[in-house]
Amino acid sequence: MTDDLRSAGAPTLEDVARAAGVSRATVSRVVNGVRNVDPVIQEAVRRAVSVTGYTPNRAARSLVTRRADAIALVVSGAGVEPEAAGESEDTTASGDGSSFTAQVFADPFFGRVVTGVVNYLRPRGMHPVLMFAESSRAREDVVAYLRQGRADGALVVSTHAEDPLPALIAEAGLAAVLFARPARPVPVSYVDLAHQDGARLAAEHLLGRGCRRIATISGPLDVPAGQARLTGFRDTMARHGHPYIPIVEGQFTQESGEAAMERLLAEHPDLDGVFAANDLMALGACHVLREHGRSVPGDVAVVGFDDSSAALACRPPLTTVRQPVEGMAAEMTRLLLDRLSRPDGPVTSVIFEPELVVRGSA
């Protein structure tokens, strides 16, 4: 920035216009994202913005574009309602909210979603607003926040199949994209993984290692991903002559993986292979196996799902099915921005392919 601009205070549109050799109106059109500006002129204005250090006034810009330049990243669940819990609204909101938030931050999956969203939005001058919707009141707050234009749209990550938020957003005519296929049909675009194919990779890998007494720790069976991973695993095992597979349902947490593994060892002490439907449960399973003196993978081979930080924290490191969460979150964000630029565009879905990552556990 030149000395005269420093002495004159914050750079203005006029300063940018002089540096770019264009009119103030042209600079305003470029800064506010108005289309049909020659690309050469756009680049000249962007260079001038960089040289002068000009920072657009977000409040003034929002008056022109009617955009908040913010996206709501909503982690949502069915929640426990105050009436059902027999408590006051304030007490329930505080207690359940804290528990729900703690559970979210304990799962590496959500951190990967945030990373993908932030990395996509940052170069575009936008930012996410993290919101939690674990109760009916919280869901109403999210819808109201969007109606008021405080965010341009919502990226919704549901933790429960009965989550009513996607339908509420759709009924309100608000822009949104979901992470994962909803349990019930909702006219909202989504990204997801071919979960059954991922479970097939896990089954074929365990069978290829020579495992013959294989069990699985499923995810919660009221969640579409949990159902799909179990279906894919069972179908593949059946195609290879294994019609019955011991199953214990988990909750995608390390603690539930530990409990499930204890039960499987008690009921099937001769098992030699385990597929856990996410890495946290696989981590818990490996911990229990070590406590019982079973070596991994010598005595029992273990395969997880997600390829999260838990896979690398495990000892030995987990063989797992990779879910490209960061890329899926970025694509979810791209779909939402496309929806904002083309409100009448079609509802769509993008399905990502899983990949087996072989490490030390199987």
Residue 219, token pair as written in the block? 């995810």
**Closest C-alpha to 107, from 273, 284, 249, 260:** 284
- pLDDT reading at 303 higher than 60: yes
Find the mean pLDDT for residues 137-162: 90
Burial 133-172 (b: 16+ CB within 10 A, else e): bbbbebbeebbebbeeeebbbbbbbbbbbebbbbebbbee
Long-range contacts of 292-296 (CB under 8 A, 24+ apart): 292/265, 294/265, 296/361
Q: What is the C-alpha separation between 112 and 329, in angstroms, rounded?
A: 8
Q: Which residue type occupies 343?
A: P
Find the mean pLDDT for residues 146-151: 90
Find the mean pLDDT for residues 178-197: 93
Q: What is the pLDDT of residues 93-112, one digit of tens each?
A: 334 556 767 777 778 888 99
pLDDT (0 to 100) of residue 16: 87
Q: Which residue type occupies 68?
A: A
Q: What is the DSSP letter of 294?
A: -
**CA distances to 192, 255, 335 from 251, in Å:** 19, 9, 29
Q: What is the C-alpha separation between 96 and 91, in angstroms, rounded?
A: 8
Q: What is the pTM of this model?
A: 0.76
Q: What is the pLDDT of residues 1-58, one digit of tens each?
A: 444 444 456 788 788 889 989 988 888 777 766 656 788 888 888 888 888 877 765 5
